[in-house]
Amino acid sequence: MGKIISIANQKGGVGKTTTSVNLGACLAFIGKKVLIVDIDPQGNATSGAGIDKGEVNECIYDVLVDDLAIEKVIKDTAVENLYVVPATIQLAGAEIELVPTISREVRLKRAMDQIKDDFDYILIDCPPSLGLLTINALTASDSVLIPVQCEYYALEGLSQLLNTVRLVQKHLNHHLMIEGVLLTMLDARTNLGLQVIQEVKKYFQNKVYQTIIPRNIRLSEAPSHGEPIIIYDPKSRGAEVYLDLAKEVAEVG
């Protein structure tokens, strides 16, 4: 049975999309069948996985708002075993358009129920907010993976996210778990990063992944080529660490 993981943090720029695309591609690389569902109107996971947003006619918006079957919008990618449900800027309207609709929080879950068993992993790339789109993602998920940037104020705002997780657990999805906390963009040359690691580990304890994602220039270049790091530069440090993370998530040695 497929496992659905939301990649969420309402802070922008913490590495959600980079993790969705590269963890997804690396899980595919180790033989898992993976679907990335982009629910950020920016559509960065869509383009980062190599899909030209200009060529996308129907996207997750049509699934959430117009009840289009999700399998109709699944696209394959240049990476074997890696598929994407794209988002375009049209999705920006969904947050408001869904407000007056019936079952507005469970629309993504209902759509996902149809395809869940077709994949080993489904990763949902969340927008930088705790609005209805993120609620839909958490409601549809088995667990949530929280990227935390190794920066000052790393823990700031996380209590709001955890509170939202608790509310979803209570009212919409009893099964939701914390998959893990991923430290991202570590600059190993500074002491600050090491302090942040200690602070986050103290707070989240054994939920923190052993794999820590360093700052790596190749990771920031890859999206403009529409390629996951494992294709763009498989020998880079970025590719190595996301492969390590994929093995940690899939619990293979």
Min. distance of Cβ 164 from ligand ADP in angstroms? 16
Gap between the Cα atoms of 67 and 53, Å rounded = 21
Q: Which does 81 bind (CB under 5 to 8 A by kind): ligand ADP, Mg ion, none?
A: none
Tokens 């602070």, residue located: 199
Q: For the stretch 214-237, what's the b/e string if a residue is b when 16 or more beta carbons lie within 10 angstroms of its beta carbon? A: bbbeebeebbeebbbbbbbbeebb
Other Cβ atoms within 10 Å of 135 Cβ, number: 23
Gap between the Cα atoms of 179 and 165, Å rounded = 12
Nearest to 9, CA basis, from 161, 112, 124? 161
Stretch of 29-37, 170-178, 193-201, 208-216 lying at the interface with ligand ADP (CB under 6 A): 208-216
Write out the binding residues for ligand ADP, residues 23-52 only, by CB under 6 A: 44
Contact by Cβ (8 Å): 144, 16? no
Nearest to 151, CA basis, from 248, 23, 12, 40? 12
> Is 157 one of the binding residues for ligand ADP (CB under 6 A)?
no
Residue whose CB is less far from Mg ion, 72 or 132: 132
Min. distance of Cβ 221 from ligand ADP in angstroms? 8
Q: Which does 185 bind (CB under 5 to 8 A by kind): Mg ion, ligand ADP, none?
A: ligand ADP
Site string for Mg ion, 11-50 (x = CB under 5 A): -----xx--------------------------x------
Residue length of the chain: 253
Min. distance of Cβ 238 from Mg ion in angstroms? 16
Gap between the Cα atoms of 238 and 242, Å rounded = 6
Q: Which does 219 bind (CB under 5 to 8 A by kind): Mg ion, ligand ADP, none?
A: ligand ADP
Min. distance of Cβ 55 from ligand ADP in angstroms? 22
Residues that bind ligand ADP (CB under 6 A): 12-18, 44, 128, 184-185, 213, 215-216, 219-220, 223
Residues that bind Mg ion (CB under 5 A): 16-17, 44
